[in-house]
Structure 1
Amino acid sequence: MKKLRPSGGYRKAASFQTATLIYDATYWFCEKFIDSRSRTLDQMIQAARSGRQNIAEGSRAAATSSQTELRLVNVARSSLEELLLDYEDYLRHRHLRQWASSSAEASAVREVPQRFKRDRSAQSNQSDLTELTDLTDQERWVLYAFWLEHESAEVRANAIICLIHQANYLLDRQIASLEAAFVEEGGYSEQLAAARLAERERKRNETSRHPTPAGAIPSCPQCGSPMVLRTARADKNEGQQFWGCTGYPECRGVIKV
């Protein structure tokens, strides 16, 4: 049965993959540089995890609730914003330099996807133009390992900040797209109602094209329930027979005899 709305597929989403990098990098950063007794350690890891998990949960919820999907993606965005502040605080409290967005270091991290594409397109084997989103988590990590495994906390924190900005940019676009789709297409309940009306119309048209054979009990063109032969008792049709739905009064489907 075809779903009204697609769901899942989050593992191929750039936002989820970037959030996975952030979560893994944060785990190792905290293990190496944050005191295990500090509440900050748990807060940072949980914020990173929330960013990743809510993208996945929102994607799965998309099949039945666009509002839930939108809410969870917003939660992911908020969690990553919280994590961003934690990294900025870490650098500031230790008098470490935070890279400017226009710095060569920040640009080098941001340009990893573009460099990956250029390197792949320059390969002699043009049939193996793997996309960045096709890589495994481990293969994607290798592309950023220079920064994310660096001995300097300053380098690691700044690189993760760059990744958070990238993830937030992707999530902002995703949120805007979800909002626009909700306004244009409606939520799941509205789409379900439209699908039901379309199915009723299809059954009604099918019934009109294929009249019920003599002696056969037809199905209701609106709900599909068996029908019963009835006689009109009022109005201009008084005394005339018709097929009425057995689901009456909830369903008022009729077929003329």
Structure 2
Amino acid sequence: MDNKQVNVNHYKDGTTSVLRKAVVFTELRFYQRSDVLYQITQIFCQRYLPQYGDRTVDQMVQAARSTKQNIAEGSSDGQTSMEVEMKLLGIARGSNKELLEDYQDYLKRKGKVEWFGKNQRFERMHDFCKYHSKYEDYQPLLSKMNDEELANMAICLCHQVDKALTSYIERKDREFTTEGGIRERMTAARLEQRETQKQIIARQQKEIETLRAEVKRLRALLDGDAG
């Protein structure tokens, strides 16, 4: 394993497992934000883009869905394959960037303003998105927002998802470099299981030796009483 320190998990009975600890992706804030983006994108496209003859609608909805679904699938597959997990998370990041560009293109095409920097509207929206990641927090606001506001909210969320995904992928990369993939985990699990079995056998042998010594002592006592 060449200096890789693999931390293996265990079942309740103590048996070693090659599976990595499951990630509850629904608790990941960037997944939650990707779900918000998916819902917002569907609403935005229904309101402000032609329903027929414009491929942008399908592209935006698919990009938003791809971001969310690849985070979910990658996190689930990560139990057995970190390589697959990192690949799918990379696809999610690419889809999120595609969605970001679509919103930015819409603002340019319509002559709308993209909010950033020392802009009060941007600062308020950035702070709201920073501290809220669930759709139910956003839902009451969406019906009151125009296309510029919705697009800027989506852009803000895209940036936050990208930043979080980038950091998460880097952490997974470091973990892979340190621990390796499924082959290293299988080897580590087998070695630990063998070591555990050796410890059990050694303990049992020690117990047998103790019992033999006790039997010998008792026999000596009995022989002494008989004499």
**Fold-level similarity (TM above 0.5):** yes
Identity across the alignment (%): 34
The gaps in structure 1 that reach 5 residues or longer are 117-131, 212-257
Contact 1:29/1:156 (CA < 8 Å) preserved in 2? Answer: yes
Q: Which residue of 1 aligns with 2:20?
A: 5
From 125, 130, 136, the equivalent of 1:139 is 136
The reply to whether residue 75 of structure 1 matches residue 72 of structure 2 is no
The DSSP-based 3-state class of the residue aligned with 2:79 is coil
Name the structure with the higher helix share: 2
Q: How large is the RMSD of aligned CA atoms in angstroms?
A: 2.3
What is the CA-CA distance between 1:151 and the residue it aligns to? 4.3
Q: How does 1:18-33 map to 2 (within 5 A)?
A: 18-33=33-48
Unaligned runs of 5+ in 2: 1-10, 206-227
Aligned residues: 192
The one-character-per-residue Cα deviations of 1:69-120 (angstroms, maximum 9, x if unpaired) are 1111111110000000101111111111111244222211121166x6xxxx
Aligned to 1:123: none
Question: CA distance change for structure 1 residues 102 and 192 in 2, over 3 Å: closer, same or farther?
Answer: farther
Partner of 1:84: 100
Counterpart for residue 246 of structure 1: none
Tell me which amino acid in the other structure corresponds to 1:201: E
Q: Are residues 1:149 and 2:143 paired?
A: yes
| Structure-2 residue corresponding to 1:184 | 178
- TM-score, normalised via structure 2 length: 0.77
Aligned AA (1:17): Q
Give the Å deviation of 1:8.
Answer: 3.6
Give the TM-score normalised by structure 1.
Answer: 0.69
State whether residues 44 and 86 of structure 1, in contact with CA within 8 Å, keep that contact through their aligned partners in structure 2: yes
**Corresponding letter in the other structure for 2:33:** T
Partner of 2:216: none
CA distance in 2, matches of 1:201, 1:151: 63
Paired with 2:188 and 2:145, the residues of 1 have a C-alpha distance of 58
Tell which has more relative contact order, 1 or 2 (C-alpha 8 A, sep 6+).
2
